[in-house]
A and B are shown apart, each in its own frame.
Chain A
Amino acid sequence: MESQEKVVLSAHKICKDYNGVQVLKNINLKVNKGDFIAVMGPSGSGKSTLLYVLSALEKSSSENVYIGDIDITNIKEKDIFNVRLNKMGFVFQQINLLKNLNVLDNIVLPGYLNKTNKKDIVNKKAKEYLEIMNIEKIESKEIANISGGEMQRVAIARALINDPDIIFLDEPTGALNSNSALDVLNILNKLNKEGKTLLMVTHDLKIAARADKIIYLTDGTIKDTFELGKYKSDKDKIYREKKVSKYLLEMGW
Chain B
Amino acid sequence: MISNMVKKDLSKNKSKNIIIFIFILLSAFLITLSANSIITGTNIFKNTYDSVNGMDVMYVFDSDNIGTDITDFLDNHDLVDDYEVNMSKKIPLVYINDIRVSDFNYSAIINNKKINIMRDINGEELILKDNEVAISLNFSDTEYKIGDMLTIELDDEKYGFVIANIMFDPIFQSEMVSEKMILMTSNSYHMLESEREASLNIRLNNRKYINEFRLDYSKQTFDQEPIIDIDYNMVITINQLYNAISNAIIILFSVGSFLMAYLILKFIIITTIEDEYKDIGILKAIGINKKNIKKIYMMKYIFISLIAILIGSILSIIMSPYFISLSINYSPKAIFNFIDLKMNVVVIILIFVFINLIAYLNIRKINKVLALDAIRYGKRVTREKGNKFIEVNKIKTAYINLYIAIKDIIFKFKDYALLLIVYVLTSIMIIIPINIKTTVDSDKLVELLGNIKFDFAIGIENNKENSDILEELYTDDDIKTITRRVGKSIRISSAGMSENLFAALIDYNETTRPYYLEGRNPKNINEIALTNVIAKRYEKGVGDYILVGEKEEEYEIVGIFQSTMNLGKTVELPIDDTGSSNMLDINQFDFITYYLNLYDEEDLELKYEYYQNKYPNNYYSLFNDLLMQDSALSQIKEIVNYLVLTLSIVSSFLLLIITSFISKLLVNKDYRNVAIYKTIGFKNIDIKKQYIYKILIISITSILIGSLISSFIGNSIVKIIISQLGIARFNLNINYLVNVVVIPIVMNIFIIFGIIIGYKDINKINIRNINVE
Which residues of A pack against B, CB within 8 Å? 48, 52, 57-58, 77-78, 81-82, 84-86, 90, 92-94, 96-102, 104-105, 108-110, 112-115, 119, 123, 126, 140-145, 158, 162, 170
Instruction: Across the A-B interface, give the 5 residue pairs with the lowest CB-CB distance, nearest first.
Output: A142-B386, A85-B681, A105-B392, A100-B411, A112-B397
Q: Is the CB of A81 within 8 A of B771?
A: no
Contact yes or no, B771 A77, CB < 8 A: no
From B383, which residue of chain A is reached at the shortest CB distance?
Answer: A144
- The CA-CA distance from A90 to B681 in the complex, in Å, is 10
A113 to B407, CA, bound (A): 17
Contact A98 B682 (CB under 8 A): no
Q: Cβ of B679 and Cβ of A104 under 8 Å apart?
A: no
Interface size class of B (residues with CB under 8 A): 35 or more
- Smallest Cβ-Cβ distance to A89: which chain B residue: B680
Task: Tell me, yes or no, whether B571 is within 8 Å of chain A by CB.
Answer: no
Q: Chain B contact residues: over half helix, strand or loop, or mixed?
A: helix
Q: B773 an interface residue at 8 Å Cβ cutoff?
A: yes
Contact indicator A81/B676 (Cβ below 8 Å): no
Tell me which residues across on chain A come within 8 A of B397, comparing CB atoms: 112, 115, 119
Binds A, one of B614-622, B750-758, B762-770: B762-770
Let me know if B768 and A109 touch, CB within 8 A.
Answer: no
Taking a contact as CB atoms under 8 Å apart, the answer to whether B680 and A110 are in contact is yes
In the docked arrangement, what's the CA distance between A105 and B404, Å?
11
Q: Is B391 an interface residue (CB 8 A)?
A: yes
Give every chain B residue within 8 A of A90 (Cβ-Cβ): 679-680
Q: Does B737 contact A (CB under 8 A)?
A: no
Q: Which residues of A contact B407 (CB under 8 A)?
A: 100-101
Q: Which residue of A lies closest to B686 (CB)?
A: A113
Residue of B nearest to A83 (CB): B681
State A71–B673 Cα separation when bound (angstroms).
27
In the complex, what residues of A have CB within 8 A of residue B685's CB? 78
Q: Is B358 an interface residue (CB 8 A)?
A: no
- Report Cα–Cα, A114/B397, bound state, in Å: 10
Q: What's the A-B contact tally at a CB cutoff of 8 Å?
A: 103
Smallest CB separation, B767 vs chain A (Å): 5
Looking at the complex, which one of A58, A78, A108 makes contact with B768 (CB distance below 8 Å)? A58
Determine whether the beta carbon of B681 is less than 8 Å from that of A96.
no
Residue among B391, B411, B679, B685 with the highest chain A CB neighbour number at 10 A: B679
Given that A93-B771, A96-B675, A96-B770 are known contacts, is A113 also in contact with B391, CB under 8 Å in the complex? no
Interface residue ranges, B against A (CB under 8 Å)? 383-387, 391-393, 397, 400, 404, 407-408, 411-412, 672-673, 675-686, 763, 766-768, 770-773
Q: Are A110 and B411 in contact (CB under 8 A)?
A: no
Q: Are A144 and B681 in contact (CB under 8 A)?
A: no
- List the A residue with the shortest CB-CB distance to B401: A113
User: Is the CB–CB distance between A92 and B683 below 8 Å?
Assistant: no
Known: A52-B768, A92-B771. Contact between A109 and B386, CB under 8 A?
no
Q: Tell me whether B672 and A96 are in contact (CB under 8 A).
A: yes
CB pair B384–A144 under 8 Å, yes or no, is yes
Q: Is the CB of A109 within 8 A of B400?
A: yes
Given A77-B684, A102-B391, A109-B680, do A57 and B385 touch, yes or no (CB 8 Å)? no
CA gap between A104 and B384 in the complex, in Å: 18
How many whole Å from A178's CB to the nearest CB in chain B?
20
Looking at A57, A97, A123, which has the most chain B CB atoms within 10 Å of its CB? A57
Which of chain A's residues have a CB closer than 8 A to the CB of B386? 99-100, 102, 141-145
B681 touches A105 (CB 8 A): no
List 7 interface pairs A-B (beta carbons < 8 Å), by A numbering.
A78-B685, A84-B680, A98-B673, A99-B673, A142-B387, A144-B385, A158-B680
- Besides A96-B771, A100-B387, A170-B771, 17 other CB < 8 A contacts? A52-B767, A57-B767, A58-B766, A78-B684, A84-B678, A84-B679, A90-B679, A94-B773, A96-B770, A100-B404, A100-B412, A104-B391, A108-B392, A113-B680, A119-B393, A126-B393, A140-B391
